[in-house]
Amino acid sequence: MDSSISRARGLTLSCARRRTLCCSSASSGDSSKFTVGTLDCPAVRSVEEWESQGAYHELLGHRIFVLDQPAVRERGAPLLVLHGFPSCSFDWRHVLDAFAAEQRVVLLDVLGYGLSAKPDQAYSLFEQADIVEALARELHIDEVVLVTHDMGDSVGGELLARSLDTTLPFAVSRRVLANGSVYMDLAQLSGGQQFLLGLPDECLPEPDAPTGELFKAGLGATFGAGTPASAEELDAQWELCVRNGGNRLMPRLIRYIEERHRHEPRWTGAIESHPAPLTIVWGDADPIAVWPMAERLHQRRPDSTLVRLEAIGHYPMIETPNEFALGALAGVSS
């Protein structure tokens, strides 16, 4: 096997042993050891099962988790799928099989998120786009269907801008865009996001880092009232966040919002103007990336297809995976 790729393996520790390890790590004060067992077993098992499907790639000096799912029946360009803040590729697990029915699917946890490396550094969506480019080169991908959500919409915006500049090493043939703050003047940032933005761009000491209770309350508040996140979902999301001390980095990771403001003409401009056909799939009960954003994008790109998921919140691929997949794949295959 290529030395730059190591296969991800699930751990076989008992639930009791996982909790013991976690307690030992917590008492040691070494957040880098916070890698397993911070929560109840169902959530840990879900994360381990997801990890076991992927592999780790060394990209631009960082260990990046990648899941490269082959198609059942190959037809068309691969789907390149980008996640948002503060979660990771795990968000897409419920739609992976539907996506992979006829097309290869490539997902990754971008730097600082999920199962990927979480260095204490300044974070930039330009670097995240560089990592996506490096992955495409390593996988010998020369054309993609770009599927994005939340912060991933902005990473996608930079990739599209590079495409328009003719510097992107792969073609974007179609696009699917889900709930994300593509128009910052309409964004309704949560109290938690505003609090993090008010902190210095620094890694927090462990005692000051966001707790699981706060994280899960904030994430859960973005789901639709009729499609709430399950306890296991929230536990698994926290398990992924806290891996390798990721909760300590949240004041650094949230800076993408400031970057989003600064580069809105470039990123939103590319989202609006890139010639690849665009399908917008949007939960209309999103309290942050509100429905008028989807309407504005559709108005500015009248040849786009707009799929409205009624009473669905910020995570349509989790809240209503079947309907989300149908809407997304209709745009991919049309």
Query: Residue 135 has what pLDDT?
Result: 99
pLDDT digits (tens, 9 = 90+) for 252-288: 999 999 999 999 999 999 999 999 999 999 999 999 9
Residue 265: how many CB atoms within 10 A of its CB?
9
Query: Residue 295 has what pLDDT?
Result: 99
Averaged confidence pLDDT in the chain: 90
Tell which wins on pLDDT, 244 or 20. Answer: 244
Q: Which band of pLDDT confidence, cut at 50, 70 and 90, is reported for residue 334?
A: low
pLDDT above 60 for 37: no
pLDDT digits (tens, 9 = 90+) for 46-88: 999 999 999 999 999 999 999 999 999 988 999 999 999 999 9
Radius of gyration of the chain from its Cα atoms, rounded to whole angstroms:
19
pLDDT above 90 for 14: no
Mean pLDDT, range 137-143, rounded to an integer: 98
Mean pLDDT, range 130-134, rounded to an integer: 99
Contacts of 162 (CB under 8 A, 6+ apart): 129, 133, 168
Residue 279 · residue 172 · CB < 8 Å: no
Mean pLDDT, range 296-301, rounded to an integer: 99
Residue 60 · residue 134 · CB < 8 Å: yes
Largest CA distance in the chain: 57
Q: Report H helices in 100-205.
A: 125-138, 151-164, 191-197
Domains and CATH numbers, the chain: 5-333 (3.40.50.1820)
Residue 35 · residue 44 · CB < 8 Å: no
pLDDT digits (tens, 9 = 90+) for 229-258: 999 999 999 999 999 999 999 999 999 999
Q: Which band of pLDDT confidence, cut at 50, 70 and 90, is reported for residue 41?
A: confident
Q: What percent of the chain has pLDDT over 90?
A: 85
pLDDT above 80 for 12: no
Query: Residue 33 has what pLDDT?
Result: 34
Mean pLDDT, range 122-138, rounded to an integer: 99
- Cis peptide leading into residue 86 (ω within 30°): yes
| Amino acid of residue 131 | I
Contacts of 51 (CB under 8 A, 6+ apart): 8, 9, 10, 65, 115
Residues facing residue 172 across a β-bridge: 144
CA distance 117 to 108: 12
pLDDT digits (tens, 9 = 90+) for 152-207: 999 999 999 999 999 999 999 999 999 999 999 999 999 999 999 999 999 999 99
The pTM is what? 0.89
Mean pLDDT, range 215-240, rounded to an integer: 98
pLDDT above 70 for 25: no
